[in-house]
Every structure is written in structure tokens, then in C-alpha cells.
Amino acid sequence: MKNLKMKSARAAKDLSQAELAEMCGVSRQTINAIEKGDYNPTIKLCIDICRALDKTLDELFWD
């Protein structure tokens, strides 16, 4: 399932996939795969993404 919440939050902070990836210590391809719904991130990566985007786990990863 696509993660449009994460994509929207990233765009709202004017970050590219590469910039968010660098902030979280992963590759741009990993961020792309999460947004496309092709990859389930670890809880640690979810938390890193939430911190980078100033969002909660519920806001980005819960339906």
C-alpha cells in the first residue's frame, strides 16, 4: 500500500527523497520503495523518518 502520508509530509517540508534518505541514513531507493508501498521499514527507520518530518508514527504509518 502506497504511503501517501509520508510523501505528502516530505513534500510539505520541501525535501527530496534523497534529502530525507540522507537524514535517515538510508538510500533514496529505500525512501522511494516505502512511498510506493514496496518496502516495510523497520521500527527504527519509521522513527527516524518521523523525527525528520516532525510527525508521529500514527500520522505517517497508521491507517
Q: What is the tens place of the pLDDT at every residue in 8-57?
A: 999 999 999 999 999 999 999 999 999 999 999 999 999 999 999 999 99
For the chain, the domain total comes to 1
Q: What is the pLDDT of residue 3?
A: 96
What residue has cell string 516505502?
Answer: 34
- pTM comes to 0.94
CA separation, residue 8 to residues 14, 22, 28 (Å): 10, 18, 16
Residue 5: exposed, middle, or buried by beta-carbon count in 10 A (0-12, 13-18, 19+)? middle
Q: By residue range, what is the domain housing residue 24?
A: 4-61
* Total residue length of the chain: 63
Q: What is the pLDDT of residue 17?
A: 98
- CATH number of the domain bearing residue 44: 1.10.260.40
